[in-house]
Amino acid sequence: MESEFRRLPSVDRLISEERIRRLQELYPRASLVELIRQYLEHARLAIAAGNPCPSVDEIVESICTQVYALENPSLRPIINASGVILHTNLGRAPLSEEAISAMNGVANGYCNLEFDLDSGTRGSRYVHIEPILCQLTGAEAALVVNNNASAVLLALTALAKKREVIVSRGQAVEIGGGFRIPDVMRQSGAKLVEVGTTNCTYVTDYAQAINPRTAALMRVHSSNFRLMGFTHLVTLDELVTLGRQYDLPVFDDLGSGCFLDTTKFGLDAEPMVQQSIATGAGLVFFSGDKLMGGPQAGIIVGKKQFVDKLKKHPLTRAARIDKIRLAGLVATLIHYLKGEAVSKLPVWRMISAPLAEIDQRARRWAQPLQGLARVVEGETMIGGGSLPGGTLPTRLVAIGGEGKSTAQALSERLRCQKMPVVGRISGNMLLLDPRSVLPEEDEEVLQALQDATANLNPTR
């Protein structure tokens, strides 16, 4: 092992290597020296663990790879042709031009985030958005934090710590990525009391669980699954009526959150925020980056007496929203106030796109590919933990047919283009869905398809 340590080259030896010297055109010498030192330290630990010493070439290659990665960040734009509009892995909702412009505006310099221009004194970041949310939802007060899980955690910590919150057993759901609503709730210090069964919960189940330690009744929207068959759910109206009887607030976690009537677009009904407020929920929680179509945020609207307590809680500062997302969120909400959400927000443009238009675009995508592609009927999913099972009719460009390996190879080629295009594989075909792609991205899709399918023989 001692000889392996001695084989490690010095920093001076490595910095004098030709490939490392060329890197100094991209990266400062001092930073390169630090990268080399870090690498050598990791190498010593690896040798101590019984691994052989890497060669000089291996070390140089690793350093070069790190520098090139710094110059070409891995997070980059892509085109989502997967057929899932709110694809969590692909960043959920794309933003409107107005939201992007608003975010750029506050990112370019200083802004009056917490400064009152009239008085010249310190202000609150929430004054920029609270009136808009109240106008849209009919709520008395509002607060915005960094995501919906934070919103729920904050409310339960501030209002129910060391007390009990009653929720239906059928609503103790997992929201994806291993994150479970019961776990989030327990982190608040509140005791979760589950009532009813997985498929049936009644008002009497809630009533029988109420005791002096009860802080709130809670409804959690099953936004990413649907119970079928013999079921019974307590309505929000029933829960609010029970809460009033016992002087308990009702918390309504909508998950996705929606301001528009989804049935008008051929989809199942999704709970609307303004309906929850009108019904009498004390606090309503929802996301900004799902059906609302804005940047990531957790939005809380409801009664002033509860929101005021949240604003004063220390956890609010830890979970607060930054200036850039706040600006994008305000711009997104203004689309709803102006009645232009369907024409301006990409999510709703995709949802409302006529099937005839989708068909025309799909045929345009397929035409240059000749025998490699055909247009077939399909379904687009909304995704993002909203409208479980709800789909929209679409037209798909199906490419391949010579075995699954061909579809996988095409998929990989498309992902490696200058502007990556992500589709989905079904059987032996690579499927591309124009509904989850904005029309203004079509030229980039066509170029990517042309480059990815070059030198491929048409299927027979």
229 — pLDDT class (breaks 50, 70, 90): low
228 — pLDDT class (breaks 50, 70, 90): low
* pLDDT score of 254: 92
Nearest partner of 292 among 159, 447, 94, judged by Cα: 94
Q: Please determine, for residue 186, whether its predicted confidence score (pLDDT) is greater than 80.
A: no
* pLDDT score of 460: 38
Q: Please determine, for residue 1, whether its predicted confidence score (pLDDT) is greater than 90.
A: no
Nearest partner of 294 among 261, 325, 253, judged by Cα: 325
* pLDDT score of 232: 81
pLDDT top residue among 171 and 337: 337
Q: Please determine, for residue 165, whether its predicted confidence score (pLDDT) is greater than 60.
A: yes
DSSP annotation of 395 reads E
* pLDDT score of 180: 67
Please report where in the chains the tokens 């579809």 appear, as a residue. Answer: 407
210 — pLDDT class (breaks 50, 70, 90): very high
Q: Please determine, for residue 435, whether its predicted confidence score (pLDDT) is greater than 70.
A: yes
Across 99-103, 127-131, 233-237, least confident range: 233-237
Q: Where are the alpha helices (DSSP H) in 271-403?
A: 273-279, 304-312, 314-318, 323-337, 341-344, 346-352, 355-366
* pLDDT score of 402: 66
* pLDDT score of 183: 76
Q: Are 181 and 220 in contact (CB under 8 A)?
A: yes
Q: Please determine, for residue 36, whether its predicted confidence score (pLDDT) is greater than 60.
A: yes
In this prediction, residues 224-234 reach a mean pLDDT of 67
Which CATH number applies to 95-344? 3.40.640.10
In sequence order, the β-bridge partners of residue 397 are 375, 432
Tokens found for residue 141 = 């007060």
Q: Please determine, for residue 127, whether its predicted confidence score (pLDDT) is greater than 50.
A: yes
Q: Please determine, for residue 193, whether its predicted confidence score (pLDDT) is greater than 50.
A: yes
* pLDDT score of 187: 83
User: What confidence tens digit (pLDDT) does each residue in 240-278 have?
Assistant: 999 999 999 999 999 888 999 999 999 988 899 999 999
Residue 238 neighbours by CB under 8 Å, 6+ apart:
203
3-class state of residue 236 by DSSP: helix
In this prediction, residues 383-403 reach a mean pLDDT of 81
Q: Please determine, for residue 151, whether its predicted confidence score (pLDDT) is greater than 60.
A: yes
pLDDT top residue among 184 and 331: 331
164 — pLDDT class (breaks 50, 70, 90): very high
Buried b (16+ CB within 10 A) or exposed e, 178-211: eeebbebbeebebbbbbbbeeebbbeebbeebbe
User: What confidence tens digit (pLDDT) does each residue in 283-342 have?
Assistant: 999 999 999 999 999 999 999 999 999 999 999 999 999 999 999 999 999 999 999 999
Query: Strands 84-86 and 373-383: what pairing?
Result: parallel
Q: Are 298 and 143 in contact (CB under 8 A)?
A: no
3-class state of residue 292 by DSSP: coil
The top-scoring range by mean pLDDT among 41-50, 102-111, 194-203, 224-233 is: 102-111
CATH T-level topology, domain 79-86+348-452: Aspartate Aminotransferase, domain 1 (3.90.1150)
* pLDDT score of 112: 96
Domain range annotation of the chain: 2-71, 79-86+348-452, 95-344
